[in-house]
Every structure is written in C-alpha cells, then in structure tokens.
C-alpha cells in the first residue's frame, strides 16, 4: 500500500473517504474518534514520589552506608557518626528524586507545543474545533501563523511554506506542493507534500487532509521513542558502584582477620576486639564519599553555569570529562542559525560580501525591492530568513530601504510561486516609468533574460556570458551557498494584466547572490581543540548533503574531498544495526537524518564502549538526547522538548561552550579522583596500622581514635580537593572513556603504596615511642606511644593531602597553597585533631596524654617525611615516564 506522500490527491481523498469541499460529517468524526482516540500524545506510567525516593536506595554503596550507620549507632554507640552517615544518604536520595524527571518533562513540553484549536471543514462548513478532536480524514485549513495540528497530506497549496526545523533540523522553511512523490523511501525533510504536527506555517496558505493523529504522527513517534528510551548510567555512577562493591569485600575480609588475630593474640577481650573490628570496618568505609562527590559535582555546576553551560543532572558534569564523541547539531550550534550573504557576482566579477558596493547598483536594488521583509520600529526584521539576509546585507552597505521605497514605491507584484521559483515587484519611478525587480532560482531566471548589465552598460546576452553565469552559479552551489539570481528592466507602461507571462520577460541580468548559514567564528577553533583532546566531533543535520559537507570542511570536522565521511539518512537506512556498528567509525557527517537515525548513531558508538555527547535543539533530537550518555540542549533556539530531555543546556547555543564544559568535566573527575586517592590511602593507612598493631600485640588504637581521625581528617580536605584549580595540559590528554575507573592513571598504585607508607610511618612513631621512652613506667610509656600514634595517624593524613594535589606533578609545581579553601580545610582539621590532645578534658575523653616538644617533633617529622618521600617517588616516576 502506498504511503500518503506517494499517493495522488485523489487517492488520498478516496482512502480517507472525504471530499475537500464538504469534509467529514459529524457522525463519521464521532465514529473515527471512538476508533483512534483523541489527537494527543500519551505518556508512560509515571512513578510516584515515594517510588522514586525508594529507588535511590538500590545503589550498592548506599546499602553499605546504611549498614555502616546501623553498626555505628547500635553496636559501637557512635550516634554522631551514624547521624552523619544517614544525613549523607538522605541528602543524596532527595537530590536524586529532584533530578529524576527528564522524560516526563520532555513529553509535557511536546504537549504544550500542540495548537489548542484547528480550522476544519466539516458538514459543508468551516469551523474551529479543539485539535484533540481531529480524526483521520479531517480537512484542515492552514495559513501563515498557524501551528499544524496533525500530520496532513496537502491537497491545496498557495505559496505555502512551513518551518520544520524543530522536527527535521533544516534551517529554512520548506516550500510545499501537492504532487505525489515517486520515491519509495523519502526522508521527513523531503516530504514536500506533507505537513507535520507541531510545525509552523510561515508563508502562504494551504489545505490538508489528516492522515495521522496523536501517537501515530511523526511527533508521536518521537514521544514513543522518548517513553521507551532506557536510562543510561554514567561512567561516574558505574565507577562508584564498582568501587563500593570492591571496598566492601576488602574491608569485611580485613575486619574478620583483625578480629580473629586479635583474639588469638589475646590483644583484647572478645567484646573489645569485636568493637575494634567493627570500628575498623566503619572507619575504612569512605562514608563521606557520596556527599563529597555530590559537593564537587555541585561546585562544578556552578563553574559551568558561569561559562554558559547549565547542568540539569549532576553526573553530567563528570560525564563530559570522559566524552569520546560529540555529535553536534549544525544549525545554531556550529553555525549562527542566520542566513548571511557571503558572495555577490555582478559586472562579470565575483565579490566577497565585505567588498564595497554602491546603493545604485541594480543588484542591490533588486535584492531589497523584490523582498517581503518587514523592518520593525526597533530595527528587527520579520520575514523569510533568505529575504531578511538580503535586507541585512543592504543595511551593511548603507542602503536605506525605507527611503528608497519612498522614492520608488512598490505598486504591484507577482508573488513567489514554488513552481516558477521567482518573485517580482514593480516600482514607480519619478519620471513616470516603472522599475521591475525579479529574483529567484538562477536556472529559471535565465530563461527569461535577454540582456545583461556590466558597469551600467546593457548589452545582449551572449552564449558565452550565459555559460559564465551558469559556471558561477555551479561554483557557488558547490560551496553549499544558496544562490539567487537578480534581474530587472525599466518599462514605460505596464501590461493590462500583471502576471508572470506579461511581466517576467525580456529581463536584464544584474547578478547572483550566494548565501549560507555561516559557521560561528569560534567554532573551528573549538573543533580543533576537541580533536587535540582526543574527542571526535561529528555533525548531524537535517540539511542537504552538500551543505553539510561544505560546513564540515570549513569547520575542520572533515578534510576537503573526504566524501566517504559523509552519509545521508537514506543511505544509513540501507545498513543493518550490525553493519552500521562496524562502519560507524568511517562517518563524521550525517545529512538529511530522521530522529531514529540519531538514536542509531548514539547506540552504535555506545556499543563500541564510547561515551557519547549529543547536542540538539529540536523535537526530533529529544530521543537521541535522552539515549546519549550526556544530552546537551540549546538554551536559545532549543525547544522545551529538547531541553526537557537533556542533561545539560547551553545558555549560548555555542559549540565552544561544550569544549569548555569538557575541560571543566575533566577537572571535576580529576578532583574526585584526588579525593578518592586521599580518602582511600588514608583509610588504608588506618587499616594497616590497626592490623599490624594487632599482629604485633601492641596496644591497639581505640574505636574513638579511628572514628575521630576518620571524621575530622577525611571530610574537609577531601571536599577542598574538589575545588583544586585545573592542572596544566588537561585538554591534551586523551578521553579516559567508559572502561576507565578511579584507579587509572597511576591512582590505584598510589593509593596502595601511599597508604602503606602512612601505616608504616605511624607504626614507626609508635616503635620510637616505646623504644626511646620519655617516661619510665610501662603505663606512661604505652600511653605516650598510643597518643603519638594517634597524633601521627591524623597529622600524617593532613600532610599527605598536599601530596594528592597531583598524582604525578610536584607539589611545588601545582602550588602548595594556591587553593585557599584547601588551606582553611587543613587548618580546621588540624585544630579539631589538636583539641583532643591539647585541651584538658578532651584528652581524657579520648584516652590520650599530653606530649612533650621532643615527642611532637617526632610526630611532625613523620608528617614532613611523607611529603619528602612522595616527592622523591614522583620525581623518579616522571623521569622514567619521560625516558619511556
């Protein structure tokens, strides 16, 4: 069976059992409405607020933290620690519920785009009805300013133009016609005899027969894709989940060993040893990690917002940093979304738009006169983008259109017609003659030209001149410029009938104008920067292949002549998903694509393990934005649908902002990595200290010691590491991709050896304290040794926080005190630690004693030692890496 766009008008009317003049009758409408349902979009079942809240507790790390809170409170009786853990968990859950409504927002926005009423012909009358009551077969009347209420097969068209960029991505309104299309498969953007739901009529008028309503429309298909799209987890979420599982297993194993060995060595009683093992497990779990990650991400969103990237979903901040692919929409993101004159051909010469031209030049008069652009009082222009571009060009050359029209008023016209592709206006001259200005498609215009003007000299059109004009037209078209021809004549009298045949003949060729939606000035540099960062930029557009390829070459996305890197939606349809996944690496430019194509592109790259960022501004982009690892909507030109489906919105619709956001995302991940390195190496030091003290039969640090060190030395410095400045060269690194984790780039080995170092230095201080005691009694010796071990374990972590400012670079290169927040955080942690030893009353509560200067010297020496040792190791790591 033929589709509506393949069928003739008569066939469509027969299929829908309707006539244009009468429309459907009321009973038929009632029957069909009962059969197909209302003309509205439906939405998947919404989750209740409670269900969303409970979903937040399914994460493995969160479950571990809840168990830790239970043990801290019920078993160890550290209710403050338990309260902190619970507060962190609840905060994360509330924030997760707040963020989780992308798809619903997208569908709601789609509904809001629909027009509330439609003008239809029913029962031999024209009436206005709610658009939700439209049914297949309804005859709908369209005129400029209307929103198309359903998918229509056009049966009448009078210069009808419909702006479909939100659906197709094409930047200019589409000229509509009513003839059947012969091709078996025609993309949405090329179905010129169709009008689609939620698109906008910008010019002319038309009549269409409803062929699809509700979820059966093209917009409905998109809504269905949004409803069915699966939520993807971000690399950050995957990494945190895996980290939580790994840590839990390791910590439980160590806690069991410590408990067993402690009982075997008679280090403490069974209840005391059990509390020690539990305290060790609670202390070793980085319970502050989810809160720290959330804070770092939130701070990242603030930084991005200042740089025009508005984040709607926190993990998106970090996901940008791992991006391998940026699939960008062309119009408005890579280009300016504004047709602009670029080349002008007149007097036998091709000129750049910046070249001077006089207002008396015929080509300048024609492009401004044969034009329906309206200039508002505030100077803004209303009209077709192509025509406003011509008037805007005139303004840059000081062509005063209002005054010129006052001198040469328009008295008649032959309106544009999509069949003849020409437009003519007639103007009264002061001498009583008439100036006829015609613009349109060069090939059609040349059929009506007999002469040519060259430097004010009008001569007959020769074959050589005609060939030269055609060659220029082709040359401009190859550059993806939209070319219009300009012609004129001056007549003493007007024909009795003003029409194309009587007016558009014996014209004088004035020149050609080449226009394009130009690339943003900073876009090419941003593309180059993305490539340098190992990110592959790609262009996806609804525009024609030649236009897309030309812009991609100008931006540096592909090389000139690399036709194999360009593919159209029709060509993509011929490949299966398996074939496309194998070939996807070949393509960098996608032209004339449909919504499902964009989703296939995202899925193909994701199947190869790549992290994909997709930009978009139209309704057609919403499914792909939702499917991508990070969907990026446009804040200025974007529809509410695309924004609702996005993780991040660009306030300036600028590709450059994406690259800036990638840099911020990389910094965020790097800082999270630093925090994790700090937390885990510190916790490993604690675990090793307790384990070795148990194995050696030494007095074991009490649960209160471990929990307090864990609380005051972990939290503040770890958060402050999250606001470390960007390290040099971060955008010269390759994307880490989805398979990477927090332990890549040397972090895993650093956590292990630095954690062991912390433990050994703490044990060394304890050994020094009992080998060279200050006091003589065993009780005083052991009390001093325990206090020194406690002070060292806490203080050494604060010193180590400085090491973690960079995994490989020297502390003195990155700047030891450059981060003021970090300086204050370390100072606050030091004070909280020192209070427990130096302030009377607190030292009794924490079972520690006052230390002498020599003892403090040993403790501080251990703290300084970790910086010196780590700096030496980093030096040799950098040296060997350079040689390799």
Hey, which residues are catalytic here? Answer: 329
Residue 471: half-sphere exposure toward Cβ, Cα within 13 Å? 9
The three-state secondary structure class of 615 is strand
The three-state secondary structure class of 499 is coil
Q: Terminus-to-terminus CA distance in the chain, angstroms?
A: 66
Tokens standing for residue 397: 């050359």
The three-state secondary structure class of 105 is helix
Distances (CA, A) of 831 to 478, 609, 661, 867: 71, 47, 37, 20
The three-state secondary structure class of 174 is strand
CA distance 119 to 788: 86
Largest pairwise CA distance in the chain: 126
Tokens standing for residue 698: 């030494």
**Ramachandran quadrant class, 414 (left: phi over 0; alpha: psi -120 to 50; beta: rest):** beta
Q: Which of 391, 385, 370 is nearest to 485 (CA)?
A: 370
Three-state SS sequence of 340-388: EEEEEEECCEEEECCCCCCCCCHHHHHHHHCCCCEECCCCCEECCHHHH
The three-state secondary structure class of 130 is strand
H-state helical runs in 593-746: 595-607, 622-627, 640-644, 655-696, 703-721
Q: Which of 614, 618, 617 is nearest to 631 (CA)?
A: 614
Q: What DSSP state is assigned to residue 287?
A: T
Contacts of 868 (CB under 8 A, 6+ apart): none
Cβ atoms of 368 and 404 closer than 8 Å: yes
Cβ atoms of 616 and 329 closer than 8 Å: yes
């Amino acid at each position: 069976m033929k589709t509506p766009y393949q069928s003739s008008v008569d066939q469509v009317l027969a299929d829908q059992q309707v006539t244009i003049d009468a429309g459907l009758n009321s009973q038929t409408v009632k029957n069909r409405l009962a059969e197909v349902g209302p003309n509205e979009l439906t939405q998947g079942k919404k989750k209740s607020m409670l269900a969303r809240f409970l979903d937040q507790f399914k994460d493995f790390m969160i479950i571990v933290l809840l168990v830790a809170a239970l043990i801290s409170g019920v078993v160890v009786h550290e209710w403050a620690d338990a309260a902190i853990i619970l507060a962190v968990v609840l905060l994360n859950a509330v924030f997760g519920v707040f963020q989780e409504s992308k798809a619903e927002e997208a569908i709601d926005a789609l509904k809001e785009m629909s027009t509330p009423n439609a003008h239809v012909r029913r029962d031999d009358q024209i009436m206005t009805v709610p658009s939700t009551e439209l049914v297949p077969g309804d005859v709908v009347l369209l005129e400029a300013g209307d929103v198309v209420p359903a998918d229509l097969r056009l049966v009448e068209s009078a210069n009808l133009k419909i702006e479909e960029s939100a659906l197709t991505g094409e930047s200019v309104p589409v000229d509509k016609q009513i003839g059947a299309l012969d091709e078996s498969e025609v993309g949405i953007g090329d179905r010129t005899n169709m009008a689609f739901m939620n698109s906008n009529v910008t010019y002319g008028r038309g009549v269409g027969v409803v062929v699809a309503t509700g979820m059966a429309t093209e917009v409905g298909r998109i809504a269905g894709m949004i409803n069915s799209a699966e939520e993807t987890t971000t690399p950050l979420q995957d990494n945190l989940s895996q980290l939580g599982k790994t840590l839990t297993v390791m910590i439980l194993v160590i806690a069991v060993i410590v408990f067993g060995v402690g009982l075997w060595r008679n280090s403490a009683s069974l209840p005391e040893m059990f509390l020690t093992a539990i305290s060790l497990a609670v202390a070793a779990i980085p319970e502050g990690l989810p809160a720290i990650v959330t804070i770092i991400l939130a701070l990242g969103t603030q930084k991005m917002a200042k740089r025009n990237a508005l984040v709607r979903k926190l993990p998106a901040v970090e996901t940008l940093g791992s991006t391998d692919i940026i699939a960008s929409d062309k119009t408005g993101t890579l280009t300016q979304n504004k047709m602009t004159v670029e080349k002008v051909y007149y007097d036998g010469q091709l000129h750049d738009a910046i070249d001077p031209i006089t207002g008396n030049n015929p080509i300048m008069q024609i492009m401004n006169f044969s034009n329906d652009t309206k200039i508002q009082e505030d100077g803004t222009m209303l009209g077709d983008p192509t025509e406003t571009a011509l008037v805007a060009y005139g303004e840059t050359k000081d062509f005063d259109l209002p005054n010129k029209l006052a001198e040469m008023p328009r008295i008649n016209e032959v309106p544009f017609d999509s069949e003849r592709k020409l437009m003519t206006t007639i103007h009264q001259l002061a001498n009583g003659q008439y100036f006829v200005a015609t613009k349109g498609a060069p090939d059609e215009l040349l059929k009506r030209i007999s002469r040519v003007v060259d430097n004010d000299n009008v001569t007959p059109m020769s074959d050589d001149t005609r060939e030269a004009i055609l060659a220029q037209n082709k040359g401009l078209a190859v550059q993806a410029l939209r070319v219009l021809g300009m012609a004129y004549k001056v007549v003493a009298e007007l024909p009795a009938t003003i029409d194309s045949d009587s007016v558009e003949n014996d014209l004088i060729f004035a020149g050609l104008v080449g226009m394009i939606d130009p690339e943003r000035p900073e876009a090419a540099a941003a593309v180059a920067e993305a490539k340098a960062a190992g990110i592959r930029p790609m262009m996806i557009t609804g525009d024609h292949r030649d236009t897309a390829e030309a812009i991609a070459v100008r931006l540096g996305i592909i090389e000139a002549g690399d036709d194999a890197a360009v593919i159209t939606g029709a060509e993509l349809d011929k490949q299966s998903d398996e074939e496309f996944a194998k070939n996807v690496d070949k393509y960098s430019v996608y032209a004339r694509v449909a919504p499902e194509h964009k989703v296939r592109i995202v899925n193909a790259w994701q199947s190869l393990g790549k992290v994909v960022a997709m930009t978009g501004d139209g309704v057609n982009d919403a499914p792909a934005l939702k499917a991508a690892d990070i969907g990026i909507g446009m804040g200025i030109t974007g529809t509410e649908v695309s924004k609702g489906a996005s993780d991040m919105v660009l306030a300036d619709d600028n590709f450059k902002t994406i690259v800036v956001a990638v840099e911020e995302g990389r910094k965020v991940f790097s800082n999270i990595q630093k925090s994790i390195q700090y937390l885990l190496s510190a916790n490993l030091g604690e675990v090793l200290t307790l384990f070795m003290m148990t194995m050696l039969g030494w007095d074991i640090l009490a649960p209160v010691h471990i929990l307090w060190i864990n609380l005051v030395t972990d939290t503040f410095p770890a958060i402050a590491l999250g606001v470390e400045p960007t390290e040099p060269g971060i955008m010269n690194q390759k994307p880490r991709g989805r398979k990477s984790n927090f332990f890549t780039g040397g972090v895993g080995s650093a956590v292990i050896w630095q954690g062991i170092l912390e433990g050994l230095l703490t044990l060394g201080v304890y050994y020094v304290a009992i080998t060279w005691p200050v006091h003589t009694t065993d009780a005083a010796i052991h009390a001093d040794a325990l206090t020194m071990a406690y002070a060292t374990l806490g203080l050494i972590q604060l010193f180590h926080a400085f090491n973690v400012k960079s995994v490989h670079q020297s502390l003195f290169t990155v700047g030891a005190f450059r981060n003021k927040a970090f300086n204050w955080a370390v100072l606050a942690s030091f004070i909280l630690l020192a209070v427990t030893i130096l302030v009377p009353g607190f030292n009794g509560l924490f079972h520690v004693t006052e230390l002498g200067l020599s003892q403090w010297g040993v403790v501080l020496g251990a703290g300084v030692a970790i910086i010196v040792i780590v700096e030496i190791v980093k030096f040799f790591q950098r040296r060997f890496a350079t040689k390799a």
